Structure 1
Amino acid sequence: MQQQELIPHLFRTEYRKITAVLCKLFGIDKIEVAEDIASDTFLHASELWGLRGLPENPVAWLYTVAKNKAKDRLKRDTLYHNKIVQQMQLSTSELQEPDIDLSDQNIKDSQLQMMFAICHPAIPPEAQIGLSLRILCGFGIDEIAAAFLSNKETINKRLHRAKEKLRELNIKIELPGETEINQRLDTVLATLYLLFNEGYYSQARDITMRKDVSLEAIRLTHLLTGDRATNKPPVHALLALMSFHASRFEARLGQNGETVLYDDQDENLWDTDLVKQGKYFMQLSWEGGTISKYHLEAGIAYWHTIKADSVEKWESILQFYNQLLIIQYSPMAALNRTYALAKANGKQEAIAEAEKLGLSGNHLYHSLLGELYIDVDNSKAVEHLNIALKLAKSKADREVMERKIAGIKT
């Protein structure tokens, strides 16, 4: 890998590790210090490697520079005396250099602990996702702004307010006790779920999906399985759900970047390893005593990894949706259920159920009704698809509507 490709690659993989460890070292009130040291490390690398060439072990070089910068900061910062000395109960003369541990285990531990700090219930969900993208995934402010259809100034303000809230509450970067873990795990999983969906169903202008965002959500969820305190059935269920959806990444876009709908996808492009991973975690998830929405959505996603239509497939999906709406109702889940209802019981019943929802301002509502009315009442199908076309926010969605309209015989 050439230098111009290596540094961005290493920034994506190593920035987040360095930042998490340094955040834990400096404390929640010094998040910006950790981010600055990590950023300065990569800036130093881009300058020096351009002059002297690549070091023998670029990752080890980055870690060494980051450690030295952190030590220099500690030595000249009053934090060094006020925090480290007190914790170690040593006099200044007895004090030795602090250990900055960038081992694989400490990196994983620090990222997991940071995840629980960021996903504190007092922080708004959008800010949780933004901080996760920045600190735990190494995304730049421009990338986060694109994901939220926003601008750098708005994102910077949002992240600043979230950091101030963490300081105000003096949130510790550590795994909470068992009781609080069980309470906070729901918030962590909700953030990871939203993070995955932001990549899988990206709302960014003219971007159908952000695979890198979804893969980061999967990586962070995997971290939860590495600790006994967080390796729980809902985590397995969420990993199963993510794995099943991610298995169809390569089939969801055509050669020209156009959206390929499920029925038109080439199943040869589906990732069978991810399907197997999903089955493994789904099996683990059912070993617990409770059923979460992630269990039910994983079940729905599993049946979508079987391309062929069958009565068993659509009746199973319909039953999963019925249970899902009982434990956590949402209009979008109810809307998606009507498609399964059409497959299982026919279009007329599904149309009646869909129209009861009355989601007239949602392009997906009109898109689905347009699909259901095809060959039932084609003029109504075109009417709904034209409304969906006007409401759609992305170019990819508009292209889907245009193709559907063009294919209807009126």
Structure 2
Amino acid sequence: MEPKNIDHLFRHHSGKMVSVLTRVFGLKHLEIIEDAVQDTFIKATLSWRKQQPENPEAWLTKSAKNRVIDIFRKLNTERNLIPKLTQGTQTIAINELFLDTEIEDAQLRMIFTACHPKLDARDRISFALKTVSGFSTKEIASALLTKEDTIKKRLSRARKAIQKADLKFNIPKGEMLHERLESVLEVLYLIFNEGFHSNTKEQLIRTDLCGEAMRLCQLLLKRESMRLPKVYALFAIMCFHSSRLDAKLNSNNELLDLKHQDRSLWHFPLIDLGNAMMNKAVETNTFSSYHYEAAIAAEHLRAKTFEDTNWVKILRWYEALYNLQPMPSHVLTMAVICVQNNESSKASYYFDLIHPEDLEQRAYLYYAAKADYYAKILNETEAIKHLDMAIKLVTNTLEADYLRKKKSAILKIK
């Protein structure tokens, strides 16, 4: 099996295995469990070079489970560490916890444990990305726009907080469920965003992460208590954005912006599903940030051509989003919309409100957008200057190539 396929399996199954093994052996042994799952994939990388098993998923699950038991045997404490799990009066065999429905339940428990209020808010997100979706520290740092060392400290703090508070591996109920759901949705949103617009150097789109975020969001929607308008709205966002994934790159693996995408490549069944989710999402008088973002995405999809885009309506949605969630990235997008709508003075007003450093790893987007603004008002010198700044700061090679092409186009005009 190719290494990239093993990586895909790891991404897809490590969170499942860590979750269900944690349900078996307990949160206090989480670090041992994570190491065991990691060991299992290293073993798979080596043993599958010549021949892979008929059912790779089953092999990985069994191997991870056995690896944990082996570790406990070496510690000579297995009898105390393998609990007797009961449901009502009936004992559940450990093997039955590896059924699909039980794995889903274990993953929901892990998501809500990771988002427990006893954990620092920043630590929750890092911890959830690690345990639920198998992110590496490097990938978490990229998703959260921070340093790897910072992520390592957050993960360490989260594990210590879990031990100290002796947290239970369960799904909260009532008001506690709704409070913790906010953090859960934020984590799923981040996972999806890292897939849709990755910060990694070579890959701009990571469909496996988009798929993982959608799968976890669907897990929430399977539970009646979690079928809330904001959950439907988040899933609608994921559907709308995923529908455009096949159109974001051309056959030469070059990045295409919304203006140059082939709209016939958009996946309309996903758009229809997103619309169905939005119909459920708007059955409320209170709109979340996910509602506004979904409305913006839907408006882009509604336009038959780029020129048909209703920028006035999109700007109105963004203003509402900013009032609810004041972020520099929203201000930047409002500036971009005004550039598209030929409102240069209004665009300039929004640009003046932004400090590029506030965008951290995405600061290059400010300079790229400002370059578009200067190109629009025919100041090619400043446009090139800002494109050079964007190219200097961008990390993804596809985006860097995209910006260089924009620069070449301006130089030809000049």
Does TM, scored on the shorter chain, surpass 0.5? yes
Q: Is 1:170 matched with 2:166?
A: yes
Q: 1:401 to 1:84 in 2, by over 3 A?
A: closer
Task: Choose 282-291 or 194-203, whichever is displaced more.
Answer: 194-203
Contact 2:126 2:140 in 1 (8 A): yes
Matched, 1:357 2:353: yes
3-state SS, counterpart of residue 275 of structure 1: helix
Look up the match of 2:375.
374
The question of whether the paired residues in 2 share the 8 Å contact of 1:121 and 1:184 is answered with yes
Match of 1:340 in 2: 337
In the superposition, the TM-score normalised over structure 2's length comes to 0.83
What's 1:22 paired with? Answer: 21
SS in 2 for 1:202: coil
The 1:18–1:387 alpha-carbon spacing in structure 2 relative to 1, beyond 3 Å, is closer
Q: CA deviation at 1:161?
A: 2.7
Compute the displacement of 1:262 (Å): 1.4
Distance (whole Å) between structure 2 residues aligned to residue 8 and residue 363 of structure 1: 29
| Per-residue deviation, residues 301-347 of structure 1 (Å, max 9, x unmatched) | 11122342467722221111121112111121112112323444x33
After superposition, the Cα gap between the structure-2 partners of 1:59 and 1:402, relative to the gap in structure 1 and judged at 3 Å, is: closer
Whether 1:32 and 2:31 are equivalent positions in the alignment is: yes
Task: Quote how far apart the aligned CAs of 1:133 are.
Answer: 3.5
Q: Aligned partner of 1:382: which letter?
A: I
8 Å Cα contact 1:119-1:128 kept in structure 2: yes
Structure 2 residue 407 is matched with structure 1 residue 405: yes
RMSD: 3.5
Q: Is the 8 A contact 1:221 1:235 kept in 2?
A: yes
Does residue 318 of the first structure (1) align with residue 315 of the second (2)?
yes
1:289 corresponds in structure 2 to 285
Bigger Rg, structure 1 or 2: 1
Partner of 1:203: 199
Distance 1:347 1:96, change over 3 A: closer
How far apart, CA to CA, are the structure 1 residues paired with 2:406 and 2:2?
Answer: 46
Moved more, 331-340 or 67-76: 67-76
Q: Once the 2 structures are TM-superposed, how far is the Cα of residue 250 of structure 1 from its aligned partner?
A: 2.1
Q: CA 1:123–1:208 in structure 2 vs 1: closer, same or farther (change >3 Å)?
A: farther
Give the stretch that moved more between structures: 96-105 or 364-373.
Answer: 96-105
Task: Tell me how far 1:187 sits from its aligned partner.
Answer: 0.8
- Give the Cα–Cα distance (whole angstroms) in 2 for the partners of residues 402 and 381 of structure 1: 12
Give the CA deviation at 1:4. Answer: 7.3
Q: TM-score, normalised by structure 1?
A: 0.83
Worse-superposed segment, 58-67 or 183-192:
58-67
Q: Secondary structure at the match of 1:84?
A: coil
Contact 2:299 2:309 survives alignment (8 Å): no
SS at match of 2:256: coil
Q: 1:184 aligns with which of 171, 177, 180?
A: 180
Structure 2 gap ranges (5+): 358-362
The total of aligned residue pairs comes to 402
Q: What is the match of residue 298 of structure 2?
A: 302
**1:108 equivalenced with 2:104 (yes/no):** yes
Deviation sequence 1:219-267 (CA, Å, 0-9, x none): 2111111111212111110111122112222222234433221111122
In structure 2, relative to structure 1, the CA distance for the partners of 1:13 and 1:214 (3 Å cut) is closer
Distance 1:56 1:310 in 2: 51
Question: What letter corresponds to residue 15 of structure 1 in structure 2?
Answer: S
Bigger Cα displacement from structure 2, 250-259 vs 289-298: 250-259
| Equivalent residue for 2:243, pick from 247, 254, 266 | 247
Is this contact kept in 2: 1:121–1:187, CA < 8 A? no
Shift of 1:169: 2.1
**Aligned match of 2:262:** 266
Distance 2:17 2:396 in 1: 36
Structure 1 unaligned residues grouped into runs of 5+ = none
Q: 1:268 to 1:398 in 2, by over 3 A?
A: same
Change (3 A) 1:180 1:367: same
For the 8 Å contact 1:21–1:102, the answer to whether it is kept is yes
Q: Distance in 2 between matches of 1:317 and 1:326?
A: 14
Q: Which residue of 1 aligns with 2:388?
A: 386
User: Identity rate of aligned residues, in percent?
Assistant: 33
**Cα gap change, 1:269/1:69 in structure 2, threshold over 3 Å: closer, same or farther?**
same
Closer/same/farther in 2, CA of residues 122 and 367 from structure 1, 3 Å limit:
farther
C-alpha separation in 2, matches of 1:394 and 1:47:
30
Which shifted more, 134-143 or 367-376?
134-143
**Greater shift in the superposed pair: 122-131 or 21-30:** 122-131
| Distance 1:265-1:50 versus aligned 2 partners, 3 A rule | closer
Segment of structure 1 superposing worse, 242-251 or 355-364: 355-364
Q: 1:351 to 1:55 in 2, by over 3 A?
A: closer
Q: Secondary structure at the match of 2:403?
A: helix
